[in-house]
Copies of this chain bind each other. A is one copy, B any other.
Amino acid sequence: MKSDELFALLRRRGVFWPTAEIYGGAQGLFDYGPLGTALKRRIEEAWVAWFVGLSHDYFLIDPAEILPEAVVRASGHLENFTDPEVVCESCKAAFRADTVLEKVRPEGVDGLTSKEIEEIVRGRGVKCPHCGAVTLSVPPPFNLMFGLDYGVTGHERAYLRPETAQSSYLAFSRMWDVGRHALPLGIAIVGKAYRNEIAPRQLLFRMRSFEQAELQIFFDPDHFLLPFDRVADERLPVVRAARRLAGSEEVELVRAADLVSAGGLPEFYVYHLVHTFRYYRDVLKVLPERLRLLEKSDQERAFYNRIQFDLEVQLDSMGGFKEIGAVHYRGDYDLGRHGQGSGKDLSVTVTGGRSVLPHVLELTYGVDRSLWALADVHLGKDGDRTVWHLPSYLAPVPVGVFPLIPKEQAAYALALSDDLAAAGIPNVYDDAGTIGKRYARMDEAGTPFCVTVDAETLGEGPLHGTVTVRSRDSKAQERVPAPELPSRLTPSFRPPRPKRS
A→B interface (CB under 8 Å)? 12-14, 17, 19-23, 26-27, 29-34, 36-38, 40, 49, 53, 56, 59-68, 70-71, 85, 87, 92, 94, 142, 146-153, 158, 160, 167, 170-171, 173-175, 178-180, 192, 194, 196, 198, 208-209, 338, 341-342, 344, 346, 414, 417-418, 421-424, 428-429, 432, 490, 494, 497, 499-500
Contact = CB atoms under 8 A, between A and B. Distances in A.
A192 B21 CA distance: 20
B17 A85 contact: no
A174 B70 CA distance: 41
Given A20-B70, A65-B209, A94-B152, 8 more contacts: A12-B178, A14-B178, A20-B67, A20-B68, A26-B64, A56-B414, A418-B499, A422-B494
Contact of A61 (B34, B194, B209): B34
10 contacts: A19-B170, A21-B173, A22-B170, A22-B342, A23-B341, A23-B342, A34-B59, A49-B421, A66-B194, A85-B152
Given A26-B68, A61-B32, A338-B22, A148 B151 contact: no
A186 to B, nearest CB: 11
B494 A53 contact: no
Query: By CB atoms of chain B within 10 A, which of A53, A85, A173, A424 has the most?
Result: A424
Contacts of A22: 170, 173, 338, 342, 344, 346
Given A23-B70, A344-B22, A60 B31 contact: no
Chain multiplicity (copies): 2
A26 B19 CA distance: 30
B151 A196 contact: yes
A129 B408 CA distance: 71
Nearest to A423: B494
